[in-house]
């Protein structure tokens, strides 16, 4: 009971220190994204596109799936899992993406908070020529949250909500990519007190100066918060092995990691510093492609 009460007090302090609307806070679903300064909107990543920018689903030549696990800031009482897949369709129907993520705060056998997000998305090509390509996408998110009993005996219960995302991507002269994502544009609310889920406009640009080198920069404008900036770099060292690094603001953090691909199978690792008194975060991921190799 002492341990449970201590954890509850810690969580209460974190909740008070966080902005309003603490449900479904932004956590990178991809270890690759975390390693590159938590950048994602302008960086093609087929398997996680349904979460990061559904418009990139239009650029899926083969099927690909991925999963990741992270314990945010190394806190032993929290776990975050994510899994998603990109599924090419025949004809002019674009490509589909499906995903699920789950965040849990628990002590022993007692779950204090459980958040599950199930996402379905689709990406389409609008325009394409020899030098450029424009794609759009949408994603429908089903949010489900359940909070455990508080120390005062209050039962918050559970609730669900539906959020809509929209995305746009552009490829210019093959080496320059731009992406824009609007997250929860329908302003969904959840919980007995109607907390607004985070609404954000994320936009970025990625440039490939040389084969095997990718740089990216983006900003994240979440409603009611300071604008955050992300910068990342990915560089191929040897065939199949890439190193990654990046920076994030508010709070200022450094990130890094690597990826390795062998045929249709891949593994990813990403870390980010705590940005203050919190410990570093380590994220791990696996990938599998079919109908061709992962890019």
Query: So what's the pLDDT on residue 202?
Result: 97
What pLDDT is recorded for position 173? 86
CATH number of the domain where residue 202 is located = 2.40.160.60
Alpha-carbon gap, residue 158 to 237, rounded angstroms:
48
Position 179 in a domain:
yes
Inform me whether the pLDDT recorded for 171 exceeds 70: yes
- Taken as a whole, the chain contains a residue count of 295
Q: How far apart are CA 227 and CA 145, in angstroms?
A: 26
Q: Once rounded to an integer, what is the mean pLDDT over residues 90-101?
A: 88
Tell me the pLDDT tens digit for each residue of 113-144.
899 999 999 999 999 888 899 999 999 999 99
Confirm whether 246 is domain-assigned: yes
Q: Which of 126, 107, 70 is nearest to 283 (CA)?
A: 70
Using the predicted structure, report yes or no on whether residue 250 has a pLDDT greater than 60.
Answer: yes
The answer to whether residue 135 is domain-embedded is yes
Average pLDDT value for residue range 243-260:
96
Q: What is the pLDDT of residues 182-204, one digit of tens each?
A: 999 999 999 877 889 999 999 99
Could you give the percent of the chain with pLDDT greater than 90?
A: 71
Query: Got the DSSP string for 21-88?
Result: --TT----S-HHHHHTTT--TTS--GGGHHHH-GGGGGG--SEEEEEEEE-GGG-TTEEEEEEEEEEE
Evaluate whether residue 96 is within a structural domain.
yes
CA distances from 258 to 46, 76, 251, 295 (A): 18, 24, 23, 15
Q: pLDDT tens digits for 16-52?
A: 333 334 789 889 999 999 999 999 999 999 999 999 9
| 10: in domain | yes
pLDDT at 112: 86
For residues 95 and 126, give the distance between their C-alpha atoms in angstroms, rounded to a whole number.
13
Question: Model's pTM, two decimal places?
Answer: 0.87
Measured distance CA(122)–CA(248) in Å, rounded: 29
The residue segments making up the domain with residue 210 are 2-290
Give the Cα separation of 212 and 201 in Å (integer). 29
Going along 129-227, which residue ranges are E strands? Answer: 132-147, 157-172, 176-183, 189-190, 195-196, 200-210, 213-222
Q: Is residue 260 over pLDDT 70?
A: yes
pLDDT in tens, 150-169: 666 666 678 999 999 999 99
Give tens-digit pLDDT for 203-212. 999 999 999 9
Residue 32: inside a domain, yes or no? yes
Domain count for the chain:
1
Please report where in the chains the tokens 């203050």 appear, as a residue. Answer: 276
Tokens found for residue 210: 């040389």
Tell whether 274 is covered by a domain: yes
Confidence of residue 4 (pLDDT cuts 50, 70, 90): very low
Residue 295 falls inside a structural domain: no
pLDDT for residue 9 is more than 50 = no
């Amino acid at each position: 009971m002492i341990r449970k009460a201590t954890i509850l007090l810690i969580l209460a302090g974190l909740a008070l220190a966080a902005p309003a609307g603490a449900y479904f806070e932004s956590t990178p679903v991809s270890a690759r994204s975390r390693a590159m300064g938590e950048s994602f909107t302008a960086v093609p990543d087929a398997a996680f596109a349904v979460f990061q920018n559904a418009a990139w689903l239009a650029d899926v030549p083969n099927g690909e799936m991925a999963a990741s696990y992270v314990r945010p800031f190394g806190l032993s009482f929290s776990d975050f899992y994510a899994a998603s897949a990109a599924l090419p369709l025949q004809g002019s129907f674009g490509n589909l993406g499906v995903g699920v993520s789950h965040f849990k705060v628990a002590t022993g056998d007692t779950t204090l908070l459980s958040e599950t997000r199930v996402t379905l998305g689709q990406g389409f090509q609008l325009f394409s020529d020899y030098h450029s390509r424009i794609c759009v996408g949408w994603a429908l998110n089903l949010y489900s949250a359940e909070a455990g009993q508080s120390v005062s005996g209050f039962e918050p219960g559970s609730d669900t909500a539906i959020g809509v995302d929209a995305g746009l991507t552009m490829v210019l002269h093959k080496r320059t990519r731009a992406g824009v994502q609007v997250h929860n544009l329908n302003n969904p609310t959840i919980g007995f007190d109607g907390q607004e889920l985070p609404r954000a406009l994320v936009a970025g640009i990625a440039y490939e100066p040389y084969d095997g080198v990718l740089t990216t920069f983006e900003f994240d404008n979440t409603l009611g918060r300071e604008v955050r900036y992300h910068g990342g770099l990915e560089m191929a060292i040897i065939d199949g092995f890439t190193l990654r690094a990046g920076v994030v603001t508010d709070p200022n953090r450094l990130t890094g990691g690597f990826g390795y691909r062998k045929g249709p199978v891949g593994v990813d690792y990403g870390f980010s510093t705590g940005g203050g008194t919190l410990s570093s975060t380590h994220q791990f991921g696996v990938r599998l492609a079919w109908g061709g190799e992962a890019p």
